[in-house]
Amino acid sequence: MSSELSRKELKRPDVILVNLREGYHWVENNLKTLVWIAAVIFGAMVIWTVTNLYQDKKEGKALSAFYGAEKNVEKKRGEILKGTKDKKKNTSDVLAALPQELFELKAVTQKFPKSQAAFLAYLKLGELYSQEKKYTDALSFYEKALPLAHNKFYKILVTYNLGYLYELSQDYPKAIEWYRKITEYKKQRILLWTVGYRPNAFWIASAYFGLGRSYEKLKKVAEAKEMYLHVADEFPNTTFADKGHAFAQLLN
């Protein structure tokens, strides 16, 4: 009985062998297509690799240009400030003495317009012009920097600077608009996941204090007090809370 079964089994087709043959025939019939697909994938990988190497090289060149320009600005600016301090001269027009250095810094933003170096150059220009109280120019540079801020820290930094400069420019409605953008960042919990983003206590508190100051300037005392107390409520038992309570009490 067993030998009879064995003979029957021997007469059965070898399934694995059949599948191998079918696979071989399929490859044979579709060889051109497979070669084209492999060539396209290989070509795409080569293009991707070359593009990334080019971008890395370009970004490195851009950053080198920025750091060189920044170094020249700080060196010349330091010399000017030291000289005017020694001679007790007015330092109100320091930037006018830096035409070449500022040109180099601005050139980075033009030569590498969408790079990290351009972003850092706009930040530096905004800082320099705000230090000299040239707020309109500083605002322009920070507004150009914002679309290039590719991480949340830099976005918060630029957003806060815009709010603060509008406040210094006495455009309080605009200042409120920018400060609000920081306080509106939210984290939400959906089932087991946390989504969204909430800046740390320093940025949130600073934005609410900015809102409070701006509302005060607009003579909106109730709104200003609400902003100060919000800091105390959100960050109890902190120096931010103490400061919020103190500012709110001054409005009573």
Q: Is the pLDDT of residue 250 over 50?
A: yes
Compute the distance between CA of residue 43 and CA of residue 150 in angstroms, rounded to an integer. 29
For residue 204, give its domain range: 151-252
Band the pLDDT of 98: cuts 50, 70, 90. confident
Q: Is residue 133 part of a domain?
A: no
Closest CA to 195 of 185, 205, 180: 185
Q: Give residue 11's pLDDT band: very low, low, confident or very high (50, 70, 90).
A: very low
Residue 13 falls inside a structural domain: no
In this model, does residue 12 exceed pLDDT 60? no
Specify if 195 maps to a domain: yes
Q: Over range 101-116, report the average pLDDT.
A: 93
Whether 219 is covered by a domain: the verdict is: yes
Whole-model pTM?
A: 0.74
CATH number for 198: 1.25.40.10
Mean pLDDT is lowest, of 53-57, 88-92, 215-219, 248-252, for: 88-92
**Is 70 exceeded by the pLDDT of residue 51?**
no
What was the pLDDT predicted at 79? 86
pLDDT band at 135 (very low <50, low <70, confident <90, very high): very high
* Residue-level pLDDT at 40: 73
- Statement: residue 123 has pLDDT above 90: yes
Task: Output the 3-class SS for 66-91.
Answer: HHHHHHHHHHHHHHHHHHHHHCCCCC
pLDDT for 197 equals 74
Average pLDDT, the chain: 83
pLDDT, residue 186, reads 78
Q: Report, in angstroms and rounded to the nearest whole number, the Rg of the chain calculated over CA atoms.
A: 32
Domain-embedded: residue 239: yes
Q: What is the mean pLDDT of residues 126-151?
A: 95
pLDDT beyond 70 at 5: no
pLDDT of residue 170: 96
What is the domain count for the chain? 1
Give a yes or no: residue 198 inside a domain: yes
Q: What is the dihedral of CA 186, 167, 139, 146, to 10 degrees?
A: 0
**pLDDT higher than threshold 50 for residue 243:** yes
Mean pLDDT of 183-192: 73
Going by pLDDT thresholds of 50, 70 and 90, the confidence category of residue 112 is very high
pLDDT at 58 over 90: no
- Decide which of 188 and 244 is more confident: 244
Q: Quick one: what percent of the chain has pLDDT higher than 70?
A: 73
Amino acid at 1: M
Q: How many helices (H) and strands (E) does the chain have?
A: 11, 2
Q: Does residue 180 belong to any structural domain of this protein?
A: yes
Q: Residue 94: inside a domain, yes or no?
A: no
